[in-house]
Amino acid sequence: MTQHEMRRIAMQAIYLANQGNLTDAEEVCQKALKALELKSFPDYSAEIVNGVLANKKELDEQLSKYLKKGWRLNRINEIDLAILEVALYEMQNSKAIEPVAALNEALNLCDEFSSKAVSYTHLTRPT
């Protein structure tokens, strides 16, 4: 399984967590395992899910800084938010991928799943 596929699984798990207001990473991984009909949940995907959920408040606060005046994160489509959370977490915390590569991966996920997150994702670009 490629790193992109594992990232996609993590993003889909975060999407499930966002939809159900779930905060327990193990529960989220188990639900995603079943929903995605996987034989096992990849370790790298679990690492991302754990990291995003453990740092969700901080990640969302950072993302909120880039929203249009008067907007809140709850106005963003949940799949877009999941892509952004995974990207920002990886850019700030992952030793497995460079920040620029994490951003590129987020753009690839946007191409697969979203029509709007691309413009948001460019705002999280590392300086």
pLDDT value at residue 51: 98
pLDDT (mean) for 24-50 = 97
Mean per-residue pLDDT over the chain, rounded: 89
CATH number for the domain that contains residue 47: 1.10.940.10
What's the pLDDT band for 20 if we cut at 50, 70, 90?
very high
pLDDT value at residue 49: 98
pLDDT value at residue 115: 63
Would you tell me how many other CB atoms lie within 10 Å of the CB of residue 108? 14
pLDDT value at residue 66: 87
Query: Angle between the 3-20 and 43-54 helix axes, to the nearest 10 degrees?
Result: 40
Instruction: Encode burial over 45-68: b for 16+ CB neighbours within 10 A, e otherwise.
Output: bbbbbbbbbebbeebbeebeeeee
pLDDT value at residue 116: 58
Distance from chain centroid for Cα 73: 14
What is the number of domains present in the chain?
1
Q: What is the pTM of this model?
A: 0.86
Instruction: Compute the C-alpha angle 114/87/28, nearest 5°.
Output: 85
Q: Tell me which of 25 and 74 has the higher pLDDT.
A: 25
First vs last Cα of the chain: how many Å apart? Answer: 31
Supply the range of the domain harboring residue 57. 3-123
pLDDT tens for each residue of 69-124 = 888 888 888 899 999 999 999 999 988 889 899 999 998 998 898 765 455 555 45
Rounded CA-CA distance 42/47 in Å is 9
Check residue 115 and report its DSSP letter. S
